[in-house]
């Protein structure tokens, strides 16, 4: 399927403009008065959505979450929650649930006491406290664990209790800071789906911070990709993967082949020609903002690279030498090198391979223009 058609069928198409629950306007954050951790951030978070803040360490995503939670104060700019400016509002008055990576459960309290605590602080009647706590426990499928202590629970069970505690007082917003980082791979993947299902059933707005792009793709309605304190792109998972805004997003979301070159010509049909360093010319789809004569990065996903069929016509055929072949069950991972020295990785489904070349063998690759995207190099903003 063509990239644009795939994104169109995957993207949300709401009938009306979604209501904005949280608005960042011109938000900046610095700790030393010199280095900006967050730069002029403008961000709308829609009511009821699952938004993930994704980026490498130091990109500003956790700082944004901490400012929204009330544990950090913006250096300048404004944060609104349901229309109210909350820059100076203390955390306990924001009606926000929070789940931390270490869960932050009280070790001296039982599971039920941990769930009762946020309600007791809000001075709710005792019968209502007990009913809400037990309802939250049932929601995360841990009814019967009321009298256990956190140290008697597995990591996954502790994570569920932490989530239940964040939801027990019916917050309008739930913030999650790398909550699955301490879990093993299998449990982590299971909890990703559990959290997503809870979100879908409750309709509460979730803001989730992670550096794991697979986790973000699995769980999110939208993803905001951060780098150097700037949102590089915010979009649906499918749109980010298939139509990245720049080379940083293409490289951070999923595996990617990136070839440096210069844009030679740009046509009105969205196509362009790119000249690589060794003089090889490629026809590609033009990304936003690219200009003739300027440096670009040509991006193509490993699963879009094909071995060219002998004698079959193809717009982009390039020679390559196979460096390494890795067997991964349902597919082979082929590491290759183009004539100009650029590395290229290909994922080849075993069911579609008549014959696989061996290391050192020369092959021809087909790089279809609809899957080859010329992008602006990433900038800090």
List 326's β-bridge partners, or say none.
Answer: 333
The mean pLDDT value for 259-277 works out to 92
Residues 174 and 69 in one domain: yes
Does residue 180 form part of some domain? yes
Residues 121 and 224 in one domain: yes
Does residue 381 form part of some domain? no
pLDDT tens digits for 217-239? Answer: 999 999 999 999 999 999 999 99
pLDDT tens digits for 55-105? Answer: 999 999 999 999 999 999 999 999 999 999 999 999 989 999 999 877 788
Does residue 380 form part of some domain? no
Residue 108 CB burial class (10 angstroms; 0-12, 13-18, ≥19): exposed
Query: How many domains in the chain?
Result: 2
The mean pLDDT value for 144-161 works out to 91
CA-to-CA distance for 50 and 222, rounded, in angstroms? 7
Residues 333 and 356 in one domain: yes
CA-to-CA distance for 266 and 280, rounded, in angstroms? 17
Does residue 262 form part of some domain? yes
Residue indicated by tokens 């911070």: 209
pLDDT tens digits for 304-356? Answer: 999 888 877 778 999 999 999 888 888 889 999 998 889 999 998 887 777 77
Q: What is the full DSSP assignment across 306-365?
A: EEPPTT---S-EEEEEEEEEEE-SSEEEEEEEETTS-EEEEEEEGGG-S--PPTT-EEEE
Q: By residue range, what is the domain housing residue 361?
A: 247-375
Specify the CATH number for the domain of residue 211: 3.40.50.300
Write the CA distances from 292 to 96, 274, 374, integer angstroms: 48, 9, 11
Specify the CATH number for the domain of residue 309: 2.40.50.140
Residues 222 and 309 in one domain: no
Cβ–Cβ under 8 Å, residues 33 and 76: no
pLDDT score of 250 more than 60: yes
Q: How confident is the model at residue 379 (pLDDT cuts 50, 70, 90)?
A: low
Residues 23 and 55 in one domain: yes
> How many other β-carbons are positioned within 10 Å of the β-carbon of residue 319?
15
List 296's β-bridge partners, or say none.
Answer: 261
Residue 248 CB burial class (10 angstroms; 0-12, 13-18, ≥19): buried
Domain final position from 217, 242, 267: 242
Residues 21 and 155 in one domain: yes
pTM of the shown model: 0.87
Q: How confident is the model at residue 15 (pLDDT cuts 50, 70, 90)?
A: low
Residues 231 and 253 in one domain: no
pLDDT score of 1 more than 70: no
Q: Strands 331-338 and 36-46: what pairing? A: unpaired
Does residue 271 form part of some domain? yes
pLDDT of residue 3: 55
Does residue 292 form part of some domain? yes
């Amino acid at each position: 399927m063509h990239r644009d058609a795939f994104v169109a069928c995957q993207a949300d198409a709401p009938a009306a403009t979604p209501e904005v629950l949280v608005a960042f306007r011109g938000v900046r954050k610095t700790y030393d008065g010199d280095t900006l951790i967050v730069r002029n951030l403008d961000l709308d978070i829609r009511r009821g959505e699952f938004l993930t803040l994704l980026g490498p360490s130091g990109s500003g995503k956790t700082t944004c979450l901490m400012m929204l939670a009330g544990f950090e104060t913006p250096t300048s700019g404004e944060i609104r929650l349901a229309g109210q400016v909350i820059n100076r509002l203390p955390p306990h008055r924001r009606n926000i649930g929070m789940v931390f990576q270490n869960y932050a459960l009280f070790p001296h309290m039982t599971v039920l006491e941990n769930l009762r605590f946020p309600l007791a602080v809000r001075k709710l009647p005792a019968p209502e406290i007990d009913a809400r706590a037990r309802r939250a426990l049932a929601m995360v499928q841990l009814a019967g664990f009321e009298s256990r202590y956190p140290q008697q629970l597995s990591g996954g069970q502790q994570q569920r209790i932490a989530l239940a505690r964040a939801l027990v007082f019916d917050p309008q917003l739930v913030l999650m800071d790398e909550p699955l980082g301490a879990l093993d791979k299998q449990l982590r993947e299971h909890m990703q789906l559990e959290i997503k299902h809870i979100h879908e059933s409750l309709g509460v707005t979730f803001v989730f911070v992670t550096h794991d792009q697979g986790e973000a793709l699995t769980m999110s309605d939208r993803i905001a990709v951060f780098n150097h304190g700037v949102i590089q792109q915010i979009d649906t998972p499918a749109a980010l993967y298939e139509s990245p805004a720049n080379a940083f997003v293409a490289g951070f979301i999923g595996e990617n082949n990136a070839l440096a070159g210069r844009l030679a010509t740009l046509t009105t049909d969205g196509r362009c020609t790119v000249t690589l360093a060794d003089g090889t010319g490629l026809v590609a789809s033009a990304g936003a903002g690219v200009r003739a004569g300027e440096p670009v990065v040509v991006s193509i996903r490993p699963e879009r690279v094909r071995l060219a069929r002998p004698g079959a016509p193809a717009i982009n055929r390039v020679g390559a030498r196979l460096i390494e072949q890795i067997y991964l069950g349902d597919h082979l991972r082929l590491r290759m090198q183009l004539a100009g020295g650029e590395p290229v990785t290909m994922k080849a489904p075993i069911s579609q391979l008549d014959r696989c070349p061996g290391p050192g063998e020369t092959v021809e690759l087909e790089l279809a223009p609809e899957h080859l995207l010329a992008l602006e190099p990433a900038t800090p903003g």
